Structure formats: structure tokens, C-alpha cells
Amino acid sequence: MKHLPIFATIQNKPCIVIGGGAVATRKVGNLLSAGATVTVVSPVITEELRVRVGKDEIIFHERGFEAKDLDGAFLVFATTDNRAVNAEVTQLAKANKQMVNVADDPEQCDFVLPSILDRSPVLIAVSTGGASPVLARQIRLQLETMIPSACGRLAGITEEYREKVKSFFPSQAQRKQFWERALKGPVSELVYAGQEDRAKKRLDEMLEEGVEQDPMGEVYLVGAGPGDPDLLTFKAVRLMQRADVMVYDRLVSQPILDMANPDAERLYVGKQKDSHAVPQNKINDLLVDLAKQGKRVLRLKGGDPFIFGRGGEEIETLTENHVPFQVVPAVTAASGCSAYAGIPLTHRDYAQSVTFATGHLKDGSINLNWEQLTQKNHTLVFYMGLSGISEISKQLQAHGMSPDMPCALIEKGTTRNQRVHIATLANLPEKVIQSGVSAPTLTIIGEVVNLHDKLSWYEPEQHVPDTDFSLHKT
């Protein structure tokens, strides 16, 4: 280990930066964030530094370096593009036994500044010892996707409760057990979900319960998106990886299932038209039962759980049974599939509004407000409409929509098996039959479909064996 990682307290301590370019600007920003008193010495400075001077955030000497500039400095930074000046600063600092950082010269540095992930009071520092700052930043960006933004607020709450926990548990081992259970359980997730008051209430309840196992788990209602695994949200992936049991439907593809905790129990509850592996009311009850066993339950649903995904029905049952839950929205099929097909749902020249509709209702019918759906300068998007495409075409024409209205039927959208079928409203049913289209599909009807040829950008692989990569509603 070339460097000893430490976090230094520099609040109100004098730090000197020799130089005024881009590197100096970054160093000054970091120092100010840590509360240092910063002095900059340079004949020329960046506009950003000049703004800081104007706000009295830094002290600025508009001249070249002089030896007296180092007097009393806690940390010294040599950031000029003149190697001779940097060498002079370094030599003087080392003679004064001051810690010095030299830009682009790691061998002369007494310390290096890492790439920082700031979730104050949580700080994560990544360093390559100056060997590759770009690599350090890339690693830090990867950590950004893994560490919730509310991690700092969680640390603040634990600090607030430290003395209270000590009063309940005199033993260090008991306190460790308590905090491990609290931070692995619903308390942390409540904070990450923005429910800090509920998190504190749960901590108080846990203190009264003692160190026994928490009897109640939690349900994560997570949207898996429209097909492409890269469209999953950071929060979705994090919760997928911490679940004890996963309840998933047929619209979730294998690549996304593989991203979940490999040790999680997997329960398939897939549904399709006229064939339900598990009825919806049984799924609702299953989620409650698993949570009451103390398990973290991932309910993974294709698309967005609140757009034709029955997520509302499931959390109604959870609420009635006082089961804690979180909802993680996702890119829904309409926005995902239209984007990958190069069909904007709204466009100033074609459509100023859009309607999402289901291709069949709970009773199996397609009894919609057809007159409202046929308004001009409007885009229609039908979920779950493949089996009813003939009735949709017939009703829209009967209520005044032109038979020549452009339509796009997107098959297995956003996946490597995506196909886009272009037709008119009149010949759309025939096109479906001729093309051998299979679910899941999404249908877009409106003038915006005319933009497909011009704006299409996604080039999926063709003739890939169908392994059901689809995630959106059919």
C-alpha cells in the first residue's frame, strides 16, 4: 500500500493553492467543501475562481509565487503548468515540513486527493495513488450507482440514536446485533424511500422489542421496465439484489432475473390471456404471507407496476394487512418501445396529446370511450391489444378515424428480438396475421408513426431464438 488512506479535518485551517487553472479550480472546490480557508496565488485565474473571489470565498493574490506564501499553510498545492515553479514550491514545502500535493507529479506528492463520492457524513474515497485519476473517477461513478443518495441521511439518524441505543443495550455485542438488524432491515429502506419519520418510529419499536428477530418483512414492488435490462433503475437493481424471495411474472426476462440475488427463492406467478398460473388475489395474499414470515419480498413486474400492471391492487392488500412496502417505478412500455422504434409519442407537427389504453378490460371486453380516442392531433397507445386488434381497428374506424391512419405494432420492444410492423388502421389486422406476430406487443396509432422511417435508430439482432426477453404488457 503506497498511501495511507486518512480523512483529515481541515475546517478553518489555512490551505494554499499555487496556480489558477482548471486543476487549481478543482482543488479549491474540494477544499472549500471541507471547510478550509483557501488562498490562491497566481497571475491569472479561471472565471470560476474569479467568481469565488467576488463572493469572498477565497483569498487571492494576483501575482507570481513567493516563498512567504507558504507561511502557516496546513496543506500546500502546486498546480501551475510551470514545472520549475512547482519544483520550487515543493522544495520549500518539504523544507518547512509541510504536506504538499503536486499536480501531475505523484512521486513528489506527500498526499494525493482521491475521487470522492460524497454522501455526507458518509464519504467514499477512491484513489489509484496518482497512477490513473481517470480510472479512479470511473470507479467512483460505478459506486454512484450502488450507494443510495440518502445514505448520508441514514448515517445521520444512526448518529442521533447512538446514545439511546447504548441506554437500551449495555453490551457492545448487543448493540452490534441491533444495528446490523436495523440497517439490513426495513429501517434503511424507509430512509432511502424518504420516510425518515417512519424509520425513526421503527427504530423506537425495535428498541422496545429488544434483540429478537424482527417478525415483519417488507415488499418491494419493482418495475422491470420494457425489455432492455440497461433500462432498470439503480434502485430497482439494489432492491433486486437484497431480496430473500422473488415473486415474478412471465413478462420478466431471464437476463433481468439473473440480476437478482442468486440466493433468493424464486416463485413464478405468470399470467397471460385466459391462462393464469396464480390468480391475482392469490398473488396478493402470497405477498402478505411472505412478508409476515420476516422476508424481504421482491415483487418483480414487467414494465411499470402502476401502468396496467395491477400494482395498485397488490399494495391495497399490503396496506390492509399493515405490511411495509416500497414501489419502484420503471420505464413503461409506451415510452420505451416508442423510443426504440423511433416514434415520438408527441410532436409539435403531429400530436399534442397521448392516451394509454388497455386492449382488454377485466371482463375480457374492449369497451372503451371510442369517441374520445378518435380526436385529432392525438396518439393512441394500446397495451395488451394483440388478440383484440381487429375489434380496435373496427371501432376506431366506426367512430370516425381514417382507415389510412398510420399504425405501428412493436413486437418484443427494446429487446434484441424487437420487430416493428408498420400498417394503416384498415390493414393492421391483416398485417398481424401475415407477419406472424407474437406477444408481447404494443400498438401505436397516430400520425407520429410517419416519423419511424426517418428516426429509427435501434438495430436489434435478427433471427435470435425467442427466449422470452419481453417485459412489457402484451
79 is in an annotated binding site: no
194 is in an annotated binding site: no
**β 275-276/325-328 pair status:** unpaired
152 is in an annotated binding site: no
3-class SS of residue 419: strand
**β 265-268/245-248 pair status:** parallel
384 is in an annotated binding site: yes
Cα distances from 340 to residues 202, 419, 436, in angstroms, run 43, 10, 21
223 is in an annotated binding site: no
Cα distances from 414 to residues 84, 230, 340, 388, 463, in angstroms, run 56, 10, 6, 23, 15
413 is in an annotated binding site: yes
Radius of gyration of the chain (CA): 30
Q: Based on the residue annotation, tell me whether 271 is a catalytic residue of this protein.
A: yes
Quote the CA–CA distance of 39 and 49 in Å, as a whole number.
Answer: 11
Of 27, 249, 295, 301, catalytic? 249
Quote the CA–CA distance of 14 and 434 in Å, as a whole number.
Answer: 77
Quote the CA–CA distance of 134 and 11 in Å, as a whole number.
Answer: 28
Cell output for 171:
453490551
440: preceding bond cis by omega (within 30 degrees)? yes
Of 271, 273, 292, 431, catalytic? 271
Of the candidates 125, 52, 110, the one whose C-alpha atom is nearest the C-alpha of residue 76 is 110
64 is in an annotated binding site: no
**β 218-223/325-328 pair status:** parallel
Q: Are 324 and 276 in contact (CB under 8 A)?
A: no
Q: Based on the residue annotation, tell me whether 453 is a catalytic residue of this protein.
A: no
Q: Are 135 and 128 in contact (CB under 8 A)?
A: yes
Q: What is the 3-state secondary structure (H, E, C) of 359-382?
A: CCCCCCCCCCCHHHHCCCCEEEEE
**β 245-248/296-301 pair status:** parallel
Residue 184 CA to its chain's centroid (Å): 20
408 is in an annotated binding site: no
* Strand blocks (E) in 258-417: 265-268, 271-272, 275-276, 296-301, 325-328, 353-358, 378-383, 406-411
43 is in an annotated binding site: yes
69: buried, middle or exposed (CB in 10 Å: 19+, 13-18, 0-12)? Answer: buried
Q: Are 380 and 468 in contact (CB under 8 A)?
A: no
**β 122-126/441-445 pair status:** unpaired
Binding residue numbers: 22-23, 43-44, 226, 302-304, 307, 332-333, 384, 413
Binding residue numbers for NAD(+): 22-23, 43-44
Binding residue numbers for S-adenosyl-L-methionine: 226, 302-304, 307, 332-333, 384, 413
Catalytic sites, residue numbers:
249, 271
